[in-house]
Chains A and B, each alone.
Chain A
Amino acid sequence: MFVVAKISIGLRLKSIESSLKSWLYDPRVYQIAVLTSLLVYGIFWLDFEIRSTQAITILITILLTQYLCTRVFKLPEYDPRSPLISGLSLCLLLRTNSLLLVGLTAFITILSKFTLRFRGKHIFNPTNFGIVLMILLTDKVWVSPGQWGNIAFFGFLIACLGGLVVNRASRSDVTYAFLGFYISLLLGRASWLGDPLHIPLHQIQSGAFLVFTFFMISDPKTTPDSRAGRVLFAFLVAAGAFVVPFVLFRTNGLLWALAFFSLSVPLIDRFLPGNRYKWSTANDYLGANQQVVNIG
């Protein structure tokens, strides 16, 4: 009796341990935690124009759409982690007064992941696509890049948290490359204009910029497969993000540039091929084989 009980407890502990590990080693869990804290900070301290009904609508729509698509596209299992990341990013960036548009954007965001695909990869970062498409189609949706304020402390905090996330997601190269290119462009512009250093520093001290850099462009599912490809991609996006505000004098340069150059990723993958990314989970650490389906 005793022995049997011991074994069964041991087994149960082991299965709990393995499922715990599978969450702990999954970078998405960290991303969800970080984005959630950002959202809470934004709503309670920065007085974002986010209503809780909007945030809830986004998250419910996202999860439901993912569920429906899981059934329709016959995925082996329902996984809420990736859609939650898209949903939380949407909560942070999307602004509109229409609850209907909030829901529609959330729906399109997830649907794009399942439908706009090329050779097994989705083309756009879902959040990026959802927002950009709705800005194009309606004049009732916008992004408020200035609302984050430039509190140095806040910037520092997200940078640290974001850094953690990126390291875990093991595709930090694209983020570092983008940061390098984009900051160089800003510094280069300032030195050409004879502007004080204060100006380019002010330009990057924006929470929206950090969210973009650490949570959107780093999306391992849409970036090129090879390191060289990712560095090239980072350069293109940085150049685009620079041209939009400083040459074309339009807003949301980061979002437009990412959406536009995402279209070039299949081409980059063709000329600079590499290994396809899969989310690391406990199985990798436990040495088990696993088949990852490239959705999510």
Chain B
Amino acid sequence: MAKADTKLFNKASQVVIVRDGDKTVMTMANDFKGAPKEFAIVIPVPTFIEREQIHIADKALIDHLDAYSAPRLVEYFDENPCAPRVLYEAMPAPPASDVGESRKGSLGVTVEARYTVGEYDIVILSAEQSGGLETWLKENGYRIPDGAGDILGSYIKQKMRFFIARVNLKEHSKLGFSYLRPIQVAYESPKFMLPIRLGTINADGYQELFIYVLNRKGRVETTNYRTVKLPTGMDLPLYIKDEFADFYRTMFDEQVKKENMEAVFLEYAWDMNWCDPCAADPLSREELRNVGVFWLNGIKPEDTWTGGASDVFITRLHVRYDARHFPEDLVFQETGNRENFQGRYGLRHPWTGNDSCEAATQYKKQLPKRWEQEAQTLAGLMGWDINAIRKKMNIAKEPKTDGRKWWEEIWKE
């Protein structure tokens, strides 16, 4: 099975939100590529954050979540039509994102707390006005983009605090990680939202964001933007196997275009206990706890295995946004919808045996029609030239009708 992961997309962020009631654990992963001393993030948070509410997570956790929920390619092998039986094998799609939350921010007024956690120096600020906040940030060596002032001011009036993290170079080299690990914050607030507005002022085009929500109730959707399902469930030409990453990226581009870049896309929604087919194994209880699933504490493993449920539902949302199309922060709601959904694409390998029987003849006759169908599906999905696809598939320009007229089939004995 092939999977398409988040690394395919540039400037992508990944955020995991674990939520039950008002209790929230947010994990932010960043694939920041510059020098560590250049790294800084400014995140509006709804409450004051104590030292114990911050934790540094293992990057592998997010990679695992990504792999588990990524769009997947499933290969089917047609059985010998003379002796039918089915086998199939699934391949996960590669994961698709990096965190583009990295930006130079600058804030302004009361330093409520300073912590060093892992490789990060963290400051919690509250401010009275955006001007002071901007000044504070600038004086402390943060570069803030033009236009940030108004947005910071809006967050200040909404009583948001600011969570600012920078890399502590000494700790960073002592710990010896070659990358920056995800930061986790636990807090309690009725606000079920994700502040994206600061991310839209980095004027260089759009931002890519993957959101994994782990909750108990069911699917999560945005209330102020359309949540649209990724097209799924179709059979594709076999050659896509080698181009699956490209397929996923191009298809996503097409869907974004189709929705005028005004929608959030649902890529996966599943009960965390299982998957079918699995792009990667579900997260273990240990991993779930590390990613912040706090309601698993105190539940003995045997309870979940006998009950069959670890009571975690995952929703993976994918959004490409800029200030014009996404003026407001994302606001979410939980729904009671526990229906499973996945991005899943089939590859059907034809049977290549030599047995001869009536069924085999029939089987071989319908193959070109099937290939043509696959070519058309792909062309429709990607906006590609159908003839180029046919050429790649090595099939005829127009499907052959084997010369017979349609009516010759009707009363055939």
* Structural contact, B154 and A195, CB atoms closer than 8 A: yes
Q: Are B225 and A146 in contact (CB under 8 A)?
A: yes
Q: B263 is contacted by which of A96, A149, A206 (Cβ under 8 Å)? A: A149
List B contacts of A192 (CB < 8 A). 157
Taking chain B's interface residues, is the majority helix, strand, or loop, or is none over half, making it mixed? loop
Find out whether the CB atom of B327 lies under 8 angstroms from the CB atom of A198: yes
Interface residues on B, range: 20 to 34
Q: Is B223 an interface residue (CB 8 A)?
A: yes
Which stretch (A57-65, A163-171, A243-251) binds chain B? A243-251
Q: How far is the CA of A149 from the CA of B224 in the complex (A)?
A: 8
Residues in B neighbouring A149, C-beta threshold 8 A: 226, 259, 262-263
Provide the residues of chain A in CB contact with B339, threshold 8 Å: 97
Say whether chain A's binding surface is mostly helix, strand, loop, or mixed: loop
Does B226 contact A148, Cβ atoms closer than 8 Å? yes
Q: Could you tell me the distance in whole angstroms from the C-beta of A155 to the nearest C-beta in chain B?
A: 12
Residues of B within 8 A of A194 (CB): 130, 150, 153-154, 157
* A147 in the interface (beta carbon within 8 A): yes
Option from B190, B224, B327, B328 in Cβ contact (under 8 Å) with A249: B190
**B229 sits at the interface (CB 8 A):** yes
Q: Are B327 and A142 in contact (CB under 8 A)?
A: no
Asked if residues B337 and A199 are in contact (CB atoms below 8 Å), the reply is: no
- State how many angstroms separate the Cβ of A221 from the closest Cβ of chain B: 29
Q: How far is the CB of A249 from chain B (nearest CB, A)?
A: 4
Partner of A146, one of B150, B191, B227, B229: B227
Complex CA gap A154/B346 in Å reads 35
User: Is A8 on the interface with B (CB-CB < 8 A)?
Assistant: no
Assembly CA distance A206 to B331 (angstroms): 14
Is B273's beta carbon under 8 Å from chain A? no
Assess the B327–A193 pair: CB atoms within 8 A. no
Whether A95 and B226, one on each chain, are in contact in the complex, defined by CB atoms closer than 8 angstroms, is no
Q: Which of A49, A146, A148, A206 has the most CB atoms of chain B within a 10 A radius of its CB?
A: A146
Chain B residues near A142: list those with CB within 8 A: 333, 335-337
In the complex, the answer to whether A203 meets B262 with C-beta atoms within 8 Å is no
Which stretch (A13-21, A112-120, A133-141, A287-295) binds chain B? A133-141
CB distance from A244 to the nearest CB of B (A): 11
> Does B228 lie within 8 Å of A193, measured CB to CB?
no
Q: Give chain A residues whose Cβ lies under 8 Å from the Cβ of B262.
A: 149-151
Residues in chain B near residue A150, CB distance under 8 A: 225-226, 262
Query: Does A283 sit within 8 A of B, measured CB to CB?
Result: no
Residues from chain B with a CB closer than 8 A to the CB of A195 are 150, 154
Residue from A47, A97, A203 in contact with B336 in the complex, judged by beta carbons closer than 8 Å: A97
Q: Which residues of B contact A245 (CB under 8 A)?
A: 331
A49 to chain B: which residues have CB within 8 Å? 337
Give bound CA distance, A196 to B154, whole Å.
10
The complex places the Cα of A230 from the Cα of B273 at a distance, in Å, of 52
A139 and B158 contact, Cβ closer than 8 Å, known pairs A144-B221, A146-B226, A149-B226: no
List residues 315-331 of chain B with CB under 8 A from any CB of chain A.
327-328, 331
Smallest CB-CB separation from B259: which chain A residue? A149
Give the distance to chain B from A188, nearest Cβ to Cβ, in Å: 12
Interface footprint category on A: 20 to 34
Q: Does B227 lie within 8 Å of A147, measured CB to CB?
A: yes
In the bound complex, what is the Cα–Cα distance between A90 and B260 (angstroms)?
28
Return the CB mask of B275-291 against A: 1 if under 8 Å, else 0.
Answer: 00000000000000000
Residue from B157, B327, B331 whose CB has the most chain A CB atoms within 10 Å: B327
Q: Which A residues are in CB contact (< 8 Å) with B370?
A: none
The answer to whether the Cβ of B7 comes within 8 Å of any Cβ in the partner chain is: no
Q: Taking the nearest CB of chain A, how far is it from the CB of B153, in angstroms?
A: 5
Residue A202 is within 8 A (CB to CB) of chain B in the complex? yes
Q: Tell me the chain B residues, 177-195 only, with Cβ under 8 Å from chain A.
A: 189-193
Chain B hits for A145, CB < 8 A: 223-224
Within 8 A of B (CB), among A34-52: 46-47, 49
Using Cβ atoms and an 8 Å threshold, which residues of chain A touch B228?
A: 47
Are the CB atoms of B338 and A250 closer together than 8 Å? no
Beta-carbon contact of A95 and B335 below 8 Å? yes
Instruction: Knowing A47-B229, A196-B327 are in contact, say whether A251-B223 is a contact too (CB < 8 A).
Output: yes
- Given A97-B338, A146-B227, A250-B190: A202 and B222 interface contact (C-beta under 8 Å): no
In the complex, A138→B336 CA distance in Å? 9
- B153: which of A97, A141, A193 is its contact (CB, 8 Å)? A193
Nearest CB of chain B from residue A248's CB, rounded to whole Å: 7
* CB interface residues, B 222-278, toward A, < 8 Å: 222-229, 259-260, 262-263
What distance in Å separates the Cβ of B220 from its nearest Cβ neighbour in chain A? 11
Query: B143 an interface residue at 8 Å Cβ cutoff?
Result: no
- Tell me the residues in window 251-270 of chain A with beta carbons closer than 8 Å to chain B beta carbons: 251
B217 interfacial by beta-carbon distance below 8 Å: yes
On chain A, the residues within 8 Å of B192 by CB distance are 249
Which of chain B's residues has its CB closest to A193's CB?
B154
> Which residue from chain B places its CB closest to the CB of A138 in the assembled complex?
B336
10 interchain pairs, CB-CB under 8 A: A49-B337, A95-B337, A144-B335, A145-B224, A147-B227, A149-B263, A194-B154, A250-B190, A251-B331, A251-B333
User: Which 3 A-B residue pairs are closest in the complex by CB-CB distance?
Assistant: A140-B336, A249-B190, A193-B154
**B residues in contact (CB < 8 Å) with A:** 130, 150, 153-154, 157-158, 189-193, 217, 221-229, 259-260, 262-263, 327-328, 331, 333, 335-339
Sample of 14 further A-B pairs with CB below 8 A, known A97-B338, A203-B328 = A46-B226, A49-B337, A145-B224, A146-B227, A147-B221, A149-B226, A150-B226, A150-B262, A194-B154, A199-B327, A199-B328, A203-B224, A206-B224, A250-B190
